[in-house]
Amino acid sequence: MTIRIQRALVSVSDKTGIENFARMLTQMGVALLSTGGTYKAISGAGIAVREVSDYTGFPEMMNGRVKTLHPKIHGGILALRDDDEHVAAMGAHDISGIDLVVVNLYPFEETVAKSGVSRADAVEQIDIGGPSMVRSAAKNHKFVGIVTDPSDYGRVIDAMEQNDGDLGMNLRRELAVKAFGLTARYDAAISRWMFAQEVAEELAPGAFADSFSLAGVKQLEMRYGENPHQKAAFYRYTANSEPSVATAEVLNGKALSYNNIVDIDACLALAKEFTEPFVCVAKHNNPCGAAAAETIELALEQAWAGDPVSAFGSVLAFTRPVNLAAAAFLVDGNRFVEAIIAPSFDDDAFELLTTKPKWGKNVRLLSLGEFDAAGRDAGDIELKKVVGGFLLQGRDLKVAADDELKVATKTQPTAEQLASLRFAEKVSKHVKSNAIVFVKGTRVTGVGAGQMSRVDSTYLAARKSGDEAQGTVMASDAFFPFPDGVETAMDAGVTAILQPGGSMRDQAVIDACDERNVPMVMTGARHFRH
């Protein structure tokens, strides 16, 4: 059955390309209906268009809240053209068929992503008529085309030119799928925002809604996922404006892989713990090196030295722009990284990184803009998918306050040791459990990650540190169940220890430290990353 488009309803918030699209439709003999600002834009361009209120005989009212919610609109969209009863009802009520609906929605997600937006302003950006028309057209895609994305205007015109004004069933079906995806994402964004408001204002902290919807916009179709036999794509949750791998601008390099994105996210999460010049070196979702220093180039050198073997092929996160000195260090010798994310890149640094042999087009450079720990979204959630469902939890943004620290041993830490322990605490939060981090000053010397035994993680951190283990401090993400972990650390040269405490055998662990006059600080806060 040929469905030649004879009438189109056009009502868009995003008016990109709409004048040209409307003009081409009219040139193909399509009659246009429109509303509000869209009507003004089209008619102002000298294009023939009829206002919806003129067609329905019912004026727009309530500041535009009511304009397309009318039987002559939805009857024209929803009518089955091959159903005699539907056709008769259209005739009886003077309803004309609407064969094409061109609608995009009020920018709710973009509005709530801005800082300082009031609840009233956000609510006014909840579209009602738009989603209603989108759903009606998508439901009746057998006869009606629905266009929600300006990037599809060209495809629609091409199809009409090739098929005597008909879109064809395949395209109508594809556009309908896209339309339902849009309304699902839109409603999910509203639901999540409204629940966040309730949590902030009325509900108990940490409360979760009875239902949860997650929706995003596809950013990238990937060659494969974690492994070549797995399909993958990257989606952005548009309501979150926090600087992230999703918001970053890719300046150079090969397409980001699934594993690149996971590693960059993990590396950046650690960098956001610091306001000073800081560099994180991450491999396989764990930091293998990290350092804070007076300059960003020194921080990079010290972070790389934490584990130079693992650093090859790593990803890096900077809290300061990448300068020429840092770039020169990276391209010197046998060094190479997969990706760098930073606030920006100095021009001479960018030129060096993108022209040096082996680096050039390979290294992925992502510009993030300025960021710091204060800009993290405390209301964001972490999600873990399991077969048949998913788990939600709040982000772990906690760092123990000074008055929450408890020195459990007879020996007190020095000011220098305490500062290094606080640095190690932040790093250990971002290491897969069981996590052990050795630190000297404000640089990591060794990391033990992901072991089934905490003492094995301690052995690894000590081995990674080598001779540098002498005089280090150590942080653990969770308590020591036995003294063997701290004994291994002290044997390696650790001079101060930080851990949450909470084991049934805490006293035995404390006694082991007291025997060697090694101070132990307990935070009372576990940072386990399963």
3-class DSSP state of 394: strand
- Separation of CA 286 from chain center: 19
Omega within 30 of 0 (cis) for the link into 20 = no
Q: Is 231 a catalytic site residue?
A: no
Determine the Cα–Cα distance for residues 177 and 168; give it in Å rounded to an integer: 15
Cβ–Cβ under 8 Å, residues 330 and 349: no
Q: Is 284 a catalytic site residue?
A: yes
Judge residue 417's burial from the number of C-beta atoms within 10 Å of its C-beta, 0-12 exposed, 13-18 middle, 19 or more buried: buried
Cβ–Cβ under 8 Å, residues 263 and 137: no
Determine the Cα–Cα distance for residues 326 and 339; give it in Å rounded to an integer: 14
Cβ–Cβ under 8 Å, residues 307 and 447: yes
Helix (H) or strand (E) holding 64: none
Choosing from 15, 86, 139, 356, which is the catalytic residue?
139
Choosing from 86, 142, 254, 284, which is the catalytic residue?
284
Helix (H) or strand (E) holding 70: none
Question: In the chain, how many H helices and how many E strands?
Answer: 19, 21
3-class DSSP state of 458: helix
- Tokens representing 248 are 């970053």
Determine the Cα–Cα distance for residues 341 and 256; give it in Å rounded to an integer: 12
> Which backbone phi and psi does 487 adopt, to 5 degrees?
-65, -40
The catalytic residues are 139, 284
